[in-house]
Amino acid sequence: MKESGVARIAVLTVGDELLSGEITDSNFPAIASAVTSLGFVVSEQRTVGDDTERIAGTINDLSRYSDALIITGGLGPTSDDVMRESVSLATGRELELREDLADVIRGFFKSLNRKMTEENMRQAYLPKGGRPIPPAGGTAPGFVLEDEALIFVLPGVPREMQAMLKSDVLPELERVFRGGGVSVTRRIMTFGLGESEVASLVGDLIGKGPVEYAFLALAGPISVKLTASAPTAKEASRLIDEEQEKVQERLRSLIYSTDDRTMEEVVGGLLRESSMTVAVAESCTGGLVCGRITNVPGSSDYFLGGVVSYGIGSKKSILGIPDEALLEGAVSKPVAEALAKAVRQLFRSDLGVGVTGVAGPGSGDESRPVGTVCLGLAHSNGVESFEVLLPGNRSLIRSIASIGALNAVRLHIQGRNRLV
Amino acid sequence: MKESGVARIAVLTVGDELLSGEITDSNFPAIASAVTSLGFVVSEQRTVGDDTERIAGTINDLSRYSDALIITGGLGPTSDDVMRESVSLATGRELELREDLADVIRGFFKSLNRKMTEENMRQAYLPKGGRPIPPAGGTAPGFVLEDEALIFVLPGVPREMQAMLKSDVLPELERVFRGGGVSVTRRIMTFGLGESEVASLVGDLIGKGPVEYAFLALAGPISVKLTASAPTAKEASRLIDEEQEKVQERLRSLIYSTDDRTMEEVVGGLLRESSMTVAVAESCTGGLVCGRITNVPGSSDYFLGGVVSYGIGSKKSILGIPDEALLEGAVSKPVAEALAKAVRQLFRSDLGVGVTGVAGPGSGDESRPVGTVCLGLAHSNGVESFEVLLPGNRSLIRSIASIGALNAVRLHIQGRNRLV
């Protein structure tokens, strides 16, 4: 390896539309987390526009610092798709027509009964020595080239990129570089306290052993990332397992996941295991709690449905929230409890969740400032509620509140006393 | 300018957590679109980890190609926040304690009655010649430095970064570089056809004039981006206005926005102007249509609420969908119409929207494959519905369907005949 025992991987994403801010690059984060989870290290990432010389210069530059280079974009059929020419220029390998690829492309158009243009044949050329990766869904083949670094070139379309990453890039990286050291990471996901509070609860562990700590605030959840490096993956995993136990002793019910499952996946699993169903009445989150629950395939097994009662009128007429509860306004613990009870009854679910709050901007006041959120949870033994003051803007407040509502369900099922 | 008449701006985002894929960098897209919308060009973006020498080397490298360099991250108080040292190393300017910054930081801790540590004073140092940008919310000051390029250094926390970008960076860029040429862009947002279909409808315009075209598929909407360069912003805007008129003649009701408003903002505006209200009954989108509408502050003026009827049971019991409608299963145009009518009645809204479909994975069949979505729209003159087959995975299908539901409301209010 060029710098250390762990293979260093650089990533280059190409496209004018990335540099203009028109779209947010989702390919780099996907590549980075896939590569990191295998124990490799991403040393650098760059984005440049659709410019042959600039791409070629960047490829040469990155090849010098890295063991492997993963590139996305510029493999389409039109003349502004210049990746093939750029790699050819960077490596001094001429482009040659690959008959096997030409056949695949002709077949694609024939199967759809569509007319093929001369331009489409551009996709059948590869730099000499390149090994093609077959098209994944579209017509663009990727390719691998062993040069100063091991170079992978993938399409910019995220689904095609991800398919090739999984089918070809990751296995090849493992095959070529697995001799070196391995670093294993684990994310311990928590909800309920801020970053500095979580950090201080495990403060005595940091720097005491071979495992590194990193904390990250993620719009509500706080991630505690453990990283261990060792000669083998097994040894690194053992270090992580031991450290995780110590972290769990300190963070206890704050932890909702140690296996990269989202809050909605964890809560879905708990509901399924306990054969319980849930329904949701939400106001300030306006559908996001339901939307989050139904992100999970198969959620219809435990999610019966919800009511988005955005106005006072619908809180009364559809959910039958009594006037007394609304005396103090729509944001209060009594209203959250009434919403939870009403929706539980309406859908005949085991659990009922009620959310009301002030997402802002505006419409807050001294007693209920923007960020005030009341959560209610109705179950067979009664109803509970609590009030929190969340930080951030409208979108952040809505997002944290929707995760918090699910966290309340998690803690209830796990039999804890506290809701956050 | 180093390469052309338009100022070239490079962006460097710093942080180990970005390279590991743990978080997706939101700072770069925000900077890129702000800078691009002023008519500047982003020439390159890089991400490196928290490593002093690597950051310094990258700063030197980027300074050579660019007129200005915007850097985020590494300005916190702890020892792994190495940006100040890195800029000092890159530019050869020593760090010096700024008493004015020290006072600001001491004041911050005093106002919160919190204890300040020695480490916090690290944030009061700047490379010689640096002009501080006052902290925006946190304790981290940013700074500006005129060196080989004009260097802006901002905190990595998105809210603090954005505040400084707006208050200091953009005005300074305008002041320093506004003498050069200007490129103006406009995004014409469409919904209802695929990228190649939209492109072919305006195909005769492309390459005929001074305005450049770029097409981008954005999980449902297709953006047609027009770019014009001219000596003045006024002249470039005139070119764009003329071209937009031609595009509008061809794309007509496919266009929902030419001013960067989202579909929910456009529909919210239309509902407000026409004093209409809406309610939503959604199944496969599971809350996302309601969630999208309520993204917009003030949406309670026109959004009365919704029902997420995820199971067949709730479709019958809460919305009173008749058994006949459900004969063919839960995904059909009659069910979408019944949902729309029922929710309109339940909430007494002017418009009722019904969404049902197969988001997958699994649970599709030959007559209703995964991606089948039926939308219904109930209004004072009756009810309409249509069925579409959407591409992609569960998350994409749900997202496109939720935008499509709003698009149906848009087209109805705008008095068009077709729903997509």
Nearest beta carbon to residue B310 from set A30, A303, A318 = A303
Surface of A (283-302) touching B: CB under 8 A: 285-295, 297, 299-300
pLDDT exceeds cutoff 50 at A419: no
Q: Is residue A1 pLDDT above 60, yes or no?
A: no
Q: What is the pLDDT of residues B328-338, one digit of tens each?
A: 788 999 999 99
Chain B positions in Cβ-Cβ contact with residue A29 (cut-off 8 Å):
21, 23-25
Q: Of A32, A300, A305, which is closest to B307 when you measure between CB atoms?
A: A305
Q: What is the pLDDT of residue A310?
A: 83
B385 touches chain A (CB under 8 A): no
What pLDDT is attached to residue A80? 77
Lowest mean pLDDT among A175-179, B169-173, B347-351: A175-179
Tokens 């209004």 map to which residue? B379
Q: What is the pLDDT of residue B403?
A: 97
Which of A28, A45, A310 is nearest residue B305 as measured by Cβ atoms? A310
Contacts 24+ apart (CB under 8 A), A314-323: A314/B304, A314/B305, A314/B347, A315/A283, A315/A339, A318/B305, A318/B307, A318/B346, A318/B347, A319/A281, A319/A343, A319/A346
Report the pLDDT value the prediction gives residue B163, as an integer from 0 to 100: 93
Across the interface, whether the CB atoms of B26 and A24 are under 8 A apart is answered yes
Q: How far apart are CA A171 and CA A121, in angstroms?
A: 29
Q: Establish if A345 touches chain B: CB-CB under 8 angstroms.
A: no
Mean pLDDT across B384-391: 91
Return the residue of A nearest to B10 by Cα: A19
Global model pTM greater than 0.95: no
- What is residue B419's predicted lDDT score, i.e. its pLDDT? 41
Look at residue A97 and tell me whether its pLDDT is greater than 60. yes
Query: Which residue among B31, B303, B318 places its CB closest to the CB of A310?
Result: B303
* B115 half-sphere exposure, CB direction, 13 A CA radius: 2
Give per-residue pLDDT as tens, A338-377. Answer: 999 999 999 999 999 999 999 988 777 778 888 999 999 9
A294 min Cα distance to partner chain B (Å): 6
Q: Residue B391: its chain A contacts at CB < 8 A?
A: none
Asked whether the CA dihedral A328, A330, A331, A335 is positive or negative, the reply is positive
Who has greater pLDDT, A111 or B310?
Answer: B310
Mean pLDDT throughout B246-259? 95
Cα→Cα distances B230→A18, A291, B140, B186, B226, Å: 23, 46, 39, 14, 13
Position A353 scores a pLDDT of 98
A21 interaction partners in chain B (CB closer than 8 Å)? 28-36, 42
* Residue A420 confidence class, pLDDT cut points 50, 70, 90: very low
Distance in angstroms (rounded) separating the CA atoms of residues B295 and B20:
30
Q: Is the pLDDT of residue A418 over 50?
A: no
Percent of chain A with pLDDT over 90: 57
Q: How far is B225 from chain A (nearest CA, A)?
A: 9
Query: What are A137-152's pLDDT values in tens digits?
Result: 777 899 999 988 999 9
Determine the pLDDT at residue A400: 94
Average pLDDT over residues A210-234: 84
More confident residue, B304 or A229: B304
Comparing alpha-carbon positions, the chain B residue that sits nearest to A45 is: B47
Contact status of A44 with chain B (Cβ, < 8 Å): yes
pLDDT, chain B, mean: 88
Mean pLDDT, to the nearest integer, of B314-333?
81
Q: How far is CA A90 from CA A55, A70, A75, A240, in A?
A: 8, 14, 16, 41
Give the pLDDT band (50/70/90) at residue A5. low
Find the distance separating the first CA and the last CA of chain B, reported in whole Å: 46
Instruction: Choose the closest CB to B314 out of A294, A305, A393.
Output: A305
Residue A16 CA neighbour count, 13 Å, CB half: 16
B206: Cα separation from own chain's centroid: 26
Nearest to B287 among A16, A46, A290 (CB): A290
Please list, in sequence order, all residues whose beta carbon lies within 8 angstroms of the beta carbon of residue A33, skipping any fewer than 6 positions away. Answer: B20, B21, B22
A6, A9, A17, A22: best mutation site toward chain B, by most B Cβ within 10 Å? A22
Say if the Cβ atoms of B20 and A26 lie within 8 Å: no
pLDDT score, position A13:
96
CATH of the domain spanning A263-413: 3.90.950.20
Q: What pLDDT is recorded for position B80?
A: 76
Which residue of chain A has the CA closest to B346?
A318
pLDDT at B281 over 90: yes
Task: Please report the pLDDT score of residue A416 as a whole number.
Answer: 54
B214 and A16: CB-CB below 8 Å? yes
Using CB atoms, pick whichever of B291, B300, B314 lies closest to residue A304: B314
Going by pLDDT thresholds of 50, 70 and 90, the confidence category of residue A95 is very high
Helices within A112-259 (DSSP H only): 158-164, 170-177, 195-201, 233-251
- Could you tell me the residue ranges of all domains in chain B? 8-177, 182-257, 263-413
Q: Tell whether B33 is within 8 A of chain A (Cβ).
A: yes
Architecture of domain B182-257: 2-Layer Sandwich (3.30)
pLDDT computed for residue A4 by the predictor? 47
Residues 178-237 of B with CB under 8 A from A: 185, 187, 214, 216, 218, 223, 225
Which pLDDT does position A73 carry in this prediction?
A: 94
Q: What is the ipTM of this complex?
A: 0.71
Verify whether the Cβ–Cβ distance B300 to A311 is below 8 Å.
yes
Q: Which chain A residues are closer than 8 Å to B343 by Cβ?
A: none
Among chain B residues, the shortest Cα distance to A319 is held by B318
Give the number of C-alpha atoms closer than 13 A to the C-alpha of residue B215, restricted to the C-beta side. Answer: 19
- Mean pLDDT, rounded, for B257-262: 93
Report how far residue A341's alpha carbon sits from residue A354's, in angstroms, rounded to the nearest whole number: 8
| B323: Cα separation from own chain's centroid | 42
Q: Can you tell me the mean pLDDT for A57-80?
A: 89
Beta-carbon pairs below 8 A across chains A and B: 226
A45 close contact with B: CB closer than 8 A: yes
Report the residue of A284, A304, A310, A399 to disrupt the B interface, i.e. the one with the largest count of B CBs within 10 Å.
A310
The answer to whether the Cβ–Cβ distance between B295 and A225 falls below 8 Å is no
- Work out the average pLDDT over B372-391: 93
The CATH number that domain A8-177 falls under is 3.40.980.10
Share of chain B above pLDDT 90, in %: 57
Q: How confident is the model over B127-140, as a mean pLDDT?
A: 86
Residue A219 has pLDDT above 80, yes or no: no
What pLDDT is attached to residue B4? 47
Amino acid identity for residue A94 in this structure: E
Tokens linked to A311: 């106005």
Q: Which two tokens stand for residue A96?
A: 């040659």
Alpha-carbon distance of B144 to B291, in angstroms, equals 40
Residues of A in contact with B399 (CB under 8 A): none
User: Which chain A positions have a beta carbon within 8 Å of B22's beta carbon?
Assistant: 33, 36, 187, 214, 216, 223, 225
> Is some CB atom of chain A closer than 8 A to the CB atom of B397?
no
From chain B, pick out residues whose CB is under 8 angstroms from the CB of A305.
Answer: 307-311, 314, 318
Rounded to the nearest integer, the mean pLDDT of chain A is: 88
pLDDT attached to residue B181: 67
What pLDDT score does B418 carry? 44
The percent of residues in chain B predicted with pLDDT above 70, rounded, is 97
- Span A97-118, mean pLDDT? 81
Choose the weakest-confidence range: A140-149, A219-228, A410-419, B195-204: A410-419
Mean pLDDT value of segment A249-273: 95
